[in-house]
Amino acid sequence: MSSLLEQLIEALRVLPGVGQKSAQRMAYHVLEREREGGKRLAETLAESIERIGHCARCRDFAETEICPICASAARDAHQLCAVESPADRLAIEQATGYRGLYFVLQGRLSPLDGVGPNELGLDKLAARLAEGEVKELIIATNPTVEGEATAHYLAQLARKHGVRPSRLAHGVPLGGELEYVDRGTLSHAFGSRTEMPS
Amino acid sequence: MSSLLEQLIEALRVLPGVGQKSAQRMAYHVLEREREGGKRLAETLAESIERIGHCARCRDFAETEICPICASAARDAHQLCAVESPADRLAIEQATGYRGLYFVLQGRLSPLDGVGPNELGLDKLAARLAEGEVKELIIATNPTVEGEATAHYLAQLARKHGVRPSRLAHGVPLGGELEYVDRGTLSHAFGSRTEMPS
């Protein structure tokens, strides 16, 4: 094997979920059948790493200092939605008709891993809430232990600045079967049952 | 989302087994946590695509005109092992103590897909066998229908040039349980049983 090929296989392993075998398969596939696509990938990747930074307002990825959503006059500045990651922001943007703004924490509170309020830019968020324009902080952290802890922290922060905190509803997912829903979710959904409209 | 990020996600999909969701995860992961590694990947990928071609003798990937194995004086030129892909060659090289040379078909006979003897470089293989140095052609194509057809074709080619063809043994894999071995393999292993040494 050529040593450049070995280097390529090694380099591919920075991608998440890619081990030795997959990296090998990827390298062979690109060299055998996708040289054009591989070239484009190399160029786009280099350019992305050089040019994509973080939005100064919402901390999401952005090519410009302020991302297009934060810069848009069409978005409602009274609503701010806090998410853990850019992927979560994208999921909400694609699935819902939400027209407010976002704040991307880039993580969740996790003291054991050294992730505290500073790492999540909560000083920035506090300053933003203090400005007075935001009326509702929609907390969309993940329903994990750490996500819930983060949500409680954010709710306190919001209340301190006179902002109404809200949380995504938990419950049985659409299309889910009760039999296969985990106990915690089912118990929560049962407790949070709502009256049916007639 | 920045459009450069969308381009990156799209570009990552040339990798085998990578769909929209994985590409997204990979892009976010590299931008969040692996900028150095991503930069190295972009460079190595670009350099590999530019510099890695095929060995003029064995058709394996090579940075030079003749790959290190074909160029090595330490390898036994009397034995030639035909494999379908560079990955197969690598697997044999890593698992066995084989010291002969290789011929990489870069595919298998598949008339329906337009893959005939020319696409597999069999004219080159025939010329090589005609040189007279090769005494044994070890046929290590995959035990699939097309791999078997290719093996038969190669065996005929070998005999025509007075070269002895051999085939990897088929049978129950080491550590396999008879109960879970597929019928074809079991039947073959039963029929090819060998006497036990006392």
Kindly report the three-state secondary structure assignment for every residue of A32-94.
HHCHHHHHHHHHHHHHHHHHCEECCCCCCEECCCCCHHHHCCCCEEEEEEEECCHHHHHHHHH
Number of Cβ pairs closer than 8 Å across A and B? Answer: 156
| B100, B78 contact by CB (below 8 A) | yes
- Show me where the domains of chain B are located: 78-167, 172-198
The answer to whether A106 contacts B32, with C-beta atoms less than 8 Å apart, is yes
The class level of CATH for B78-167 reads alpha beta
Q: What is the pLDDT of residues A111-143, one digit of tens each?
A: 888 889 988 999 999 999 999 999 999 999 988
B63 in contact with A, Cβ within 8 Å: yes
Query: Coil, helix or strand for B130?
Result: helix
B107 in contact with A, Cβ within 8 Å: no
| A31, B61 contact by CB (below 8 A) | yes
Residue A61: closest CA among A102, A99, A97, A96? A102
ipTM over 0.85: no
Q: Do you know the residue count of chain A?
A: 198
Q: Cα-flanking dihedrals φ and ψ of residue B47, to 5°?
A: -65, -40
Mean pLDDT of A79-107: 91
Q: What is the CATH number of domain A75-167?
A: 3.40.1360.10
| Per-residue model confidence (pLDDT) at position A136 | 93
Residue A47: closest CA among B117, B143, B4? B4
Closest CB to A2 among B2, B45, B63: B63
| Per-residue model confidence (pLDDT) at position A103 | 96
- Angle at the Cα of B50 from the Cα atoms of B44 and B52, rounded to 5 degrees: 85
Tokens 């280097």 sit on residue: A7
A15 in contact with B, Cβ within 8 Å: yes
Amino acid letter, A92: I
Q: What is the pLDDT of residues B46-96, one digit of tens each?
A: 999 999 999 999 999 999 999 999 999 999 999 999 999 998 898 888 888
B4 in contact with A, Cβ within 8 Å: yes
pLDDT by 10s per residue, chain B, length 198: 458 999 999 999 999 999 999 999 999 999 988 999 999 999 999 999 999 999 999 999 999 999 999 999 999 999 999 999 998 898 888 888 899 999 999 999 998 888 899 889 999 999 999 999 999 999 999 888 899 999 999 999 999 999 999 988 888 888 778 788 888 888 887 888 877 777
Contacts of B50 (CB under 8 A, 6+ apart): none
Q: How far apart are CA B85 and CA B107, in angstroms?
A: 6
Question: Per-residue pLDDT for A198 more than 70?
Answer: yes
| B80, B137 contact by CB (below 8 A) | yes
Task: Identify the band that residue A83 occupies on the pLDDT scale cut at 50, 70 and 90.
Answer: very high
